[in-house]
Structures are given as C-alpha cells and as structure tokens.
Amino acid sequence: MKLFRNKIFLIVCCALLAVALIIGAIVYFAVILPEQRQEEEWARQVQEYRDAKTAQYRQENAEYDDYEVDVAFLGDSLTDGYDLAKYYPQYVTTNRGISGDTTFDLEGRLEVSVYDLKPKVAVILIGANNMDTMFENYEDILIGLRQNLPDTKVVLLSLTAMGGEHWGRKNQLAAYNNVTIKLLAEKYGCTYIDLYTPLYDVSIREVYEGYTSDGGHLTHEGYAVVTAQITPVLETLLGK
C-alpha cells in the first residue's frame, strides 16, 4: 500500500510539473516573449531616431560657420517638438532636442550637438526624464560648455510645470530641482529662466489647462508662454 501511495504521489507531482511547464511555456510565448520583442523593437527605433538626428546635426554643423547660428536649443522632447522657425523667425536657430533624452544622453552628445556648432547662445532644457538623478551630471554639462565654448552664452531653462496622473505628481520635485538649476546658473555665469511659474496654475496645483497635450508635452499655447519668457532674454544677449 505504501509503495502504491508513493507511485500515486509521484504521478501527481509529475502531472503538476507538466502543467506548470505548460503554463510557463504559454506565459513565456504569449506574454513575455512578445513584450521582449516589443521592447527590442522600441529600442531599435529609438536608436535609429537618435542616429538620424546625429547625422542631421553633423550635416548642419558642416553648413554653418562658427557662431553663425544665433541660438541652439538643446534638450529632450520639449525641445524636439519646439517649432523654432515659427516662434523665433528673427533668429538663426537650430533644434538639438531628442525625445526621451536624459541629462546623461545630452552629455554624451554635446560634441556633435553644440561644441562643433559653436552657437552664439545655447538654451538648455533637460532633466524631466531623470529628475531623480539629473544632478549627478548636470554640473558636468555646464563645465563642458564653459571649457569648450567659452564665447557661447548659456541659458538654463527651469523644468516646466506638469499635470495629469503621470506627470502631475512630479511637480513638487520639479519645483525643488529648479532651485538647484538656478543656483548652478549663478555659479557658472549662465542666465536662468523660470518656465515653471508662468505655466503653473496655483488654483489646481498643476500646469494650466490647455498648455499641454498630456500633462507634460506642450501645446501651441504652452510654447507661446515659453517663448514669451525666452525672447526678451535672447534680445538682451544677442543685442537684437
């Protein structure tokens, strides 16, 4: 009888193991593998986009003489989506924003993005994609600009006000980080522009309705507010 019970137990265990393996295989092939492939495809598309942007920058750098460009805007998606020709027709501008960039990504491409271009003014808006770690290398970016572009004036833009379920919860950290950005601007002789305050609706404690499409990315109305803050500074720095 004991041997019989042991055989039954072994059979049940084998059956359960087989079921577990089948379930595991189903989960892997139906859920995990497609997600991995989706992530790999997304990473491939992101890299292709970055490569295309880099190639564009190199071509533009070759076309411009040193200090021919009035203003180079550097940053992430907020810069990438900024129609500079529309908002700054009075200046020679170039857009050096790449969606999804962190401060680390920006630091890694400073040579092709701005050193080789040598603009009169560099306007930087970066950090929204890595607020928790942005100051691990933010100062390194400023040191690099000072050493490689001593004649370029640098403008640091604050992080913007945000809203919605995803972005809105980052407002407090953004406001806190902006204090540090301002202090670094003073330390390195940069001009600081506060974008957070004119975008922030104190009555709802997040970005004004209509200024963003999803709580984080700016609409035309949002960019109009941003442009109104930046333009007077550029007029002063460029003398026109």
Average pLDDT per block of 10 residues along the chain, 240 residues long = 59 63 63 60 73 92 95 97 96 96 96 97 97 97 97 98 89 96 98 97 93 94 98 94
Question: What would the two tokens of residue 80 be?
Answer: 């990438």
Rounded to whole angstroms, the Cα distance separating 196 from 170 reads 12
Q: Which helix (H) or strand (E) holds 179?
A: helix 171-187
Q: What is the pLDDT of residue 34?
A: 59
Cβ atoms of residues 99 and 49 within 8 Å = yes
Maximum Cα–Cα distance across the chain: 99
Distances in Å between the alpha carbon of 164 and those of 62, 93, 102, 223, 226?
42, 32, 21, 18, 20
Cβ atoms of residues 146 and 114 within 8 Å = no
Cβ atoms of residues 130 and 166 within 8 Å = no
The pTM is what? 0.83
Rounded to whole angstroms, the Cα distance separating 17 from 9 reads 12
Q: Which helix (H) or strand (E) holds 93?
A: strand 93-97
Q: What is the pLDDT of residue 240?
A: 72
Cβ atoms of residues 114 and 72 within 8 Å = yes
* Relative orientation angle of helices 171-187 and 138-148, to the nearest 10 degrees: 30
Question: What would the two tokens of residue 8 be?
Answer: 């039954």
Q: What is the pLDDT of residue 165?
A: 83
| 117-139 pLDDT tens trace | 999 999 999 999 999 999 999 99
Distances in Å between the alpha carbon of 150 and those of 58, 87, 128, 143, 184?
21, 27, 27, 10, 17
Q: What is the pLDDT of residue 25?
A: 60
What percent of the residues of the chain are helix, what percent strand, and what percent coil, each to the nearest 5?
60, 10, 25
